[in-house]
Amino acid sequence: MPSFDLFLGPNGWGKPLLSAALMTVALSLSGLAVGALFGAVLAHARIGGGLVLRSLADAVTTILRGVPDLLVIYLFYFGGSGLLSWAGHAAGYDGFIGLPVFLTGTLALGVVSAAYQAEVFRGAFNAIPRGQIEAARAAGMRNVLMFRRILVPQVLRHALPGLGNVWQLILKDSALISVIGLVELLRAAQIGAGSTRQPFLFYSAALVLYLVITSVSGQVFRWAETRSLRPFRRA
Amino acid sequence: MDFAFLQTTLLTLLGGLPLTLELAVSSILLGGGGALMLTLMQASGSLLLSAPARAYVFVFRGTPLLIQLFMIYYGLGQFRPTLQELGLWSFFRDPYWCAVLAMAMNTAAYASEIIRGGLGSVPPGALEAATACGMRPLLRLRRVILPLAIRQALPAYSNELILMVKATSLASIITMMEVTGLASKMIAETYRSIEIFACAGLIYLALTLILTRAVLLLEWRLSTTRKNGTPA
Amino acid sequence: MMATTRPPLALHIAPPTQRRPKPVEKIALVKLRKSFGLIEVLKGVSLKANEGDVVSILGSSGSGKSTLLRCVNFLETPDSGDVILCGEHVRMRQRSDGRSVPADPAQLTRVRTRAAMVFQSFNLWSHRTILENVIEAPVHVQGRPRKDCVEEAEALLDKVGLAAKRHDYPAVLSGGQQQRAAIARALATHPEVLLFDEPTSALDPELVGEVLKVMRGLAEEGRTMLVVTHEMGFARHVSTRTLFLHQGLVEEEGPSEEMFAHPRTDRFRQFIKRAQP
């Protein structure tokens, strides 16, 4: 079988595809982390902010949910590079300076997922019975302590299922980062397809790897969920 | 602010709007049909039908839309002679149809899950009550199950519709000059990414806003908690 | 109380009970007012409780009794009036939007660890075990050594009959057990005053007894308690004094047994009658 050597031979495509798959996971993880940060800020503004902050957060959410992710990626890549080139020009360097693609991809995925993560955090926050917050205040806890000891642990538990969904979304969105040249799984498949003229084979391989990543990580999330929800279930 | 530039940009990008709409509408309609088929297959009770449907949903929900698109547009090119023999080559050579096919197949998987969720949310008691007052299965489906399931599934489906409108932008990667295609071409030519992003974003926002409003209106019409409401 | 004309209600204070010659004042609420929007819930309510007093606060729903209790530990901030807890006057300040808020966060924390609260809906933290619930405030708010707190918490849980449940999560406990755990949690900060906000109202009738028993035990220990309740038996026989609120004002107050035996106002007489089936 010719495709056997193609992937598993000494100079086969197996290794580059696998490392590209790792890149996809790394990119998605950092996107998730950045998105969690942005999302927490957005959720905070939507829960506890004043009128101005709340409307601002609402506007950001509406925009992020209504505009294609691809456009956001372009904005970050070309916009960021534009700024960099402009700064470079001021420093005496002429020419186009590209933003590091991993960084751009991370930022773009983070921003794109922030709106969803904010919703997840907000829902999780609202799932905490108000009385538990009152009990914390009545016990003399100040904001920071209450946030750390009562809110965060519970929000994280309630948010896990929603975060699992967001994670799947980010994983699949990470394929879009291939358009700015980051060699993640899809890009690697593209390169392989181009140089061997066997696109169907290479895209199938990438497809299978995506399936493995999404289903294995989905399993991990489900496992974490059942573990973390243990205290909330009646025996 | 360079208003003249913004204006020309907006006008240029609006030129891509018909294509964006066409892509969205055809893939949503096709995908809706596919979703119904998948749901029926999964609910059929026959393993021969439900297993392939489940596998299909698993694959299409577990992989990025972009790779599905590449698979169809570039991947199937590997079988060009066979496709030419079958007379399908003109279809698979056309980026428009490939985009529609990929998006329709993708949304079919998601929508079938949404329909399944809606059907699953119908309380058994409502079914029993319908049976008890003598409804036959088909009448029960039409008068009780579907009305309840649709109300339950509508918010999730509205989300899916918005995702599909946004997904049309991927067609630009396989050379379609819809709104995002025109926008990326302009960005590459002028490097004025922020203004162009704003204009393109505005167009998509308007689209998704209209869509959300329309679904909200429908939800309101179907709402069962509305006071003095006449059920639609 | 033989007087035929009563002194002004709001300022009327019962004479100290005989068993303590030198009463130590634990709680003094002076002319508290509180509005929510256009509705004035408290219209100048005063209340004093000395060490060892168990004061029942009665009233129909909307009389302001829960709001009064929540003003003691500033879960609600009164619009005007004074709160003096264990001799310490709690300072308030006006915010720019006209609402008054506690002025000093450190003082607020002090007040809240001195006056522990037991809620109608228990409000145990669902992500922590019973033992963890009890040691949460002493360890993290008061900064006491964890080991001491655990020992103490186990003794407290033993006292409320929940020693065996200490490593369970709240969700697996019955309502009565959850409320007893909440009482243990309240005791863990060594409070000088206990505030009970309808502690048995959310319980199934057969579970009320076990909670009341624990509360009666606390009263017999000589703890200072304010209890918003609908349990007439507790108010009459356990609490030393009773305060009856009606539409944001004190309608009647006095030593409990006497007040129940000889109600002075029609409203309170009606109230007792309605409560007894």
Instruction: Please give the residue of chain A at the shortest CA–CA distance from C191.
Output: A139
* pLDDT for B94 beyond 80: yes
Nearest CA in chain C to A232: C171
Phi, psi of B69 (to 5 degrees): -65, -45
pLDDT tens for B157-213 read 999 999 999 999 999 999 899 999 999 999 888 888 888 999 999 999 999 999 999
Instruction: Work out the average pLDDT over B200-227.
Output: 86
Name which of B62, B170, B193 is nearest A70 (Cβ-Cβ): B170
Average pLDDT over residues C175-181: 94
Q: Residue C262's pLDDT is what?
A: 92
Q: Are C73 and C117 in contact (CB under 8 A)?
A: yes
| Crossing angle (nearest 10°) for helices C175-187 and C146-159 | 140
**Residue C66 has what pLDDT?**
92
Q: How confident is the model at residue B226 (pLDDT cuts 50, 70, 90)?
A: low
- CB atoms < 10 A from the CB of A90, how many? 8
Q: Which element (helix H / strand E) includes C224?
A: strand C224-228
pLDDT at residue B230 is higher than 50? no
Single out the residue of B8, B64, B17, B6 nearest to residue B176, CA to CA: B17
pLDDT value at C108 more than 50: yes
Does residue C197 sit in helix, strand or coil?
strand
DSSP letter for A148, please. Answer: I
Q: Do B193 and A203 touch (CB under 8 A)?
A: no
Determine the pLDDT at residue A26: 96
- Record: contact A199-B58, CB cut-off 8 A: no
Choose between C23 and C213: higher pLDDT: C213
- B189 has a chain A CB within 8 A of its CB: no
Rounded average pLDDT over C35-44: 91
- Section A18-29 average pLDDT: 95
Residues in C 53-82 with any Cβ partner in A closer than 8 A: 73, 75
Mean pLDDT computed over A94-113: 85
Distance CA A49, CA A56 (A): 10
Contacts of C108 in chain A (CB under 8 A): 140
CATH number of the domain encompassing residue A171: 1.10.3720.10
**What average pLDDT does this structure show over A183-188?**
93
How close does chain B come to A205, measured CA to CA in Å?
A: 11
CA distance A59 to chain B (A): 11
3-state SS class at B232: coil
What is the per-residue pLDDT across A201-219, written as a single tens digit (0 to 9) for each?
999 999 999 999 999 999 9
Contact A186 B74 (CB under 8 A): no
The domain made up of B3-228 is a member of CATH 3.40.50.970? no
Q: A116 contacts in B (CB within 8 Å)? A: none
Which one-letter DSSP state was computed for residue C133? H
C136 touches chain A (CB under 8 A): yes
pTM summary value: 0.79
pLDDT for residue C5: 47
- Say if residue C153's pLDDT is above 60: yes
Q: pLDDT exceeding 90 applies to what percent of chain B?
A: 58
HSE, CB side, 13 Å, CA atoms: give it for residue A182. 28
pLDDT value of residue A85: 76
- By the CB < 8 Å criterion, does A136 face chain C? yes
For residues C180-206, average pLDDT = 93
Least confident of A67-71, B85-89, B174-178, C159-163: B85-89
Residue of chain B whose Cα is closest to the Cα of A218: B62
Q: Which of B126-130, C88-92, C144-148 shows the lowest mean pLDDT across its residues?
A: B126-130
Could you write out the DSSP letters of every residue in A75-144? IIIIIHHHHHHHHHHHTT--S--PPPHHHHHHHHHHHHHHHHHHHHHHHHHHTS-HHHHHHHHHTT--HH
* Residue C172 at interface with chain A, using a CB cutoff of 8 Å: yes
Element (H, E) at C39: strand C39-50
Strands ordered across the beta sheet of C80-85: C39-50, C25-36, C80-85, C88-89
Res B191: pLDDT? 80
Q: What is the structure's pLDDT at C4?
A: 46
Is C106 within 8 Å of C265 (Cβ atoms)?
A: no
Looking at residue A234, its pLDDT comes to 56
A 212-231 → C contacts, CB under 8 A:
230-231
d(CA A39, CA A45): 10
| Mean of pLDDT over chain A | 88
List the domain boundaries for chain B: 3-228
Nearest-CA distance from A42 to chain C in Å? 25
Contacts of A127 in chain C (CB under 8 A): none
Q: Please give the structure tokens belonging to residue B103.
A: 């998006």
pLDDT score at A47 = 87
Q: Between chains, do A132 and C126 touch, taking CB under 8 Å as contact?
A: yes
Comparing A40-44, A198-202, B145-149, C131-135, the range with the smallest average pLDDT is B145-149
A137 touches chain C (CB under 8 A): yes
Residue B11, burial from CB neighbour count under 10 angstroms (0-12, 13-18, 19+): exposed
Cα Rg for chain C, rounded, in angstroms? 19
Beta carbons of B100 and B21 less than 8 angstroms apart: no
- Tell me which of B38 and A1 has the higher pLDDT: B38
CA–CA gap between residue A3 and residue A9 (Å, rounded): 9
Probe site for chain A from B70, B83, B192 (most A CB atoms < 10 A):
B70
Instruction: Work out the mean pLDDT of chain B and round it to a whole number.
Output: 88
Residue pair B98/B92 in contact by the 8 Å Cβ criterion: yes
Position C11 scores a pLDDT of: 43
Pairwise CA distance, residues C155 & B90, whole Å: 82
d(CA C212, CA C197): 13
pLDDT band at C163 (very low <50, low <70, confident <90, very high): very high
- C167 touching A, CB under 8 A? no
Residue C276, pLDDT > 80, answer no
Amino acid, single-letter form, for residue B142: R
Q: Is residue A6, in this structure, part of any structural domain at all? A: no
* Count of structural domains, chain A: 1
Min Cα–Cα distance to chain A from C106, Å: 9
pLDDT score recorded for residue C154? 95
Q: Pick from C73, C111, C126: which is nearest to A232 by CB?
A: C126
| Assigned domain for A73 exists | yes
pLDDT above 70 (res C143): yes
Per CB-CB distance under 8 Å, the chain A contacts of B9 are none
Residue B54 vs residue C18, higher pLDDT: B54
> Does position A196 have pLDDT exceeding 50, yes or no?
yes
Residues of the domain holding A125: 16-234
